[in-house]
Amino acid sequence: MRHTRAFPSIFCFLVIGAAVILASSARAQSADNLEAVLKKMDTASAAFHTTEASFEWILWEKVTGDQDTQKGKVYFRREGSHIEMAADVSDPKPPKYLLFTGDKIELYETGINRVTIFDATQHRADFETFLVLGFGGSGHDLLKSFDVTYKGTEKIGDVATSILDLVPKSEKIRNNFPHITLWIDPDRGVSIQQKLFESSGNYRQQIYTDIGINKKIADSVFKLKTNSKTETIMRSGS
């Protein structure tokens, strides 16, 4: 009878012990997978000069269930130690153009022929952190700004992506975006999908296709095509 009564306790002890061992093994494997993805992103970053892609940006509103979708082309290039970005939003019309160059962000709304310029001097590092998520940014540099967790794999189109979940270390950023998910192409070390979760419950999904790496991009892409009647407004970046 003593052995009979002891069996459940021994059995539970063995099950718990096995669970701990399996969990430790899973964590070790996850850490190995994360390191492999970060190294691939490091390699891509070291060779990065330019990237261009077609995009679909989706903003989903939790309260209404509505979503706003924008489509177009986006361009990135490294200028010295900084990254520049240009986006042509062709859908919906009238088109809009967005530039991040130097220490400013410029939004050109062609429908009303107006350029709004935001001073990004004080927050350039924050802007660049988000700009280079999966596009030209070093994998291990992510660890400086985010707590990064490997979440497995998911096939998107023909690509078996690696999923990384990012929690911002900055409380200010975390209050706006509690976490961000990246779907990384493990062969090229770039993100083909991103989802930024807002504290409100809304999220922003960014899908990239037709990605071209280190192709020649004309300088004119990073200049707004305004005219003599274009109105210009300055906004503080604070």
Domain assignment present for residue 125? The answer is: yes
Domain assignment present for residue 101? The answer is: yes
Q: What is the DSSP string of 66-86?
A: -EEEEEEEEEEEEETTEEEEE
Longest dimension (CA), the chain: 96
Q: The CATH number of the domain where 91 resides is what?
A: 2.50.20.10
DSSP tag of 223: S
On the question of pLDDT at 11 being above 50, the answer is no
Q: Which residues pair with 17 in a beta bridge?
A: none
For 76-131, what is each residue's pLDDT tens digit?
998 777 788 899 999 999 999 999 887 888 999 999 999 999 988 877 777 777 77
Look at the chain and report how many structural domains it folds into. 1
pTM (2 decimals)? 0.82
Q: Which residues pair with 156 in a beta bridge?
A: 159
Q: Which domain holds residue 124?
A: 38-235
Indicate the pLDDT class of residue 237, thresholds 50, 70 and 90. low
Q: Which alpha helices (DSSP H) does the chain contain, by range?
A: 2-46, 124-131, 139-145, 171-176
Checking phi first, is residue 69 left (phi over 0); if not, alpha (psi -120 to 50) or beta?
beta
For 64-76, what is each residue's pLDDT tens digit?
989 999 999 999 9
